[in-house]
Every structure is written in structure tokens, then in C-alpha cells.
Amino acid sequence: MHPAFLYLPGARLELPELRAALLDGHLVAVGEAFIPADLVEGPGTRASSIATLIPQDTAASGPTAAWIHGAGDAPPALHHVRRVVDRRIRPVLDRRVTLHDVYVPESELVRLGGVAVLTPRRTMVDLALGLHRDESLMRWIAALTDVSPTLADEAIQSLDDLGRVPGKLAGRAALARIAVRTR
């Protein structure tokens, strides 16, 4: 999608003007932005729409990455990012963004709409590992499985390759239940 079709409040049009176009049916809301109603909302569009929330040296992760990859209709209320540099960072974060201070190597990233995003497989692994702390992640796992049915099996393989990690057993069990339903 060409950046000219992505309307961020305050850039070319103010929020009231964008909302009026939304009410008239000319635009649809995507993340923090608006796009023409006749455009397809793909991963690149979703990533571009929240680019201002993703700090430098970080990548979208967890529910945010799942949403970017096509899971669900609406973005998460709280966006998640992980650092992509091997040194500690102290970014200025929007109150709707939480930083997980865990390094993610370049091999587990994709660039969508100019934003670094965890790959679908790594996203599924991260969601599964977080289940023991937050059961609401299950809805993102299920939605991401709807986008790519083989992803649960791929994530199980990745979990099996990990050593001892908190949440591994609960995450693997949840993914196994999902994988059985998608076969």
C-alpha cells in the first residue's frame, strides 16, 4: 500500500475531518490511522498504522504482532514490543505500549510497512509462553491459527527445541490442543 493512502491524524487531515470521512463511509479505521474504504487491509497496512507507537530498536511482538499478521479485527488495547538490538535500551514509550526487554535476533523478524515485526512462528511461540501468566493470550493464539492453520504445529517444534523456559509446558499443551482441532 502506498503511504499516500494512509491517513494519520494531524498529518494531512485533523482527527475531526478523518472521523467525518469515516462516518460518510469514505474511510475505515485501522489501528491508529485511516485508509480509504475500498482498500484491502493487509499486514503492511496494519503495521504502518501503528508505526508511530513502535520505538526505534524494537519490534512489534505478542498480541500486536498477531494482529499485524491478520489475527482479529481490532488491535490490542495494549501494544507489545521487544528489543531488536543486543544492548539495553530506554525508549520513550506511549502509555499504550509495553516493552519486553528480551532480545530478538534479526532471523526472527520481518519488515512490514516499514515496521519490524516478529515472524508469525515466533509470535505464536511468545504467545504460548505467556499463557501461564495471562490466559487472555489464548484468543490471539486461536485467531492467529485461523490465519495460518499449520502455525501451531510449527510453534510446537520451536518450543521443543527450547531448553527450560517458564511457561513452556502450559504453552505446548495449549498449542497441542489447537493443533488437533486444525488437522
pLDDT tens sequence for the chain (183 residues): 677 889 999 988 999 999 999 999 999 999 999 999 998 889 999 999 999 999 999 999 999 999 999 999 999 999 999 999 999 999 888 899 999 999 999 999 999 999 999 999 999 999 999 999 999 999 999 999 999 999 999 999 999 999 899 999 999 999 999 988 876
- Model pTM? 0.92
Around Cβ 152, how many Cβ atoms within 10 Å?
24
According to DSSP, the residues that pair with 40 across neighbouring strands are: none
d(CA 145, CA 66): 10
Predicted local distance difference test score (pLDDT) of residue 1? 67
Nearest-10 crossing angle of helices 168-182, 151-161: 150
pLDDT at 3: 79
Query: Does residue 52 contact residue 33 with C-beta atoms inside 8 Å?
Result: no
| Model pLDDT, residue 179 | 86
- Are 30 and 74 spatial neighbours (Cβ–Cβ below 8 Å)? no
User: What nine digits make up the cell of 72?
Assistant: 482479529
The CA distance from 74 to 68, in Å, is 10
pLDDT at 36: 95
Q: What is the DSSP pairing of strand 79-83 with strand 58-61?
A: antiparallel
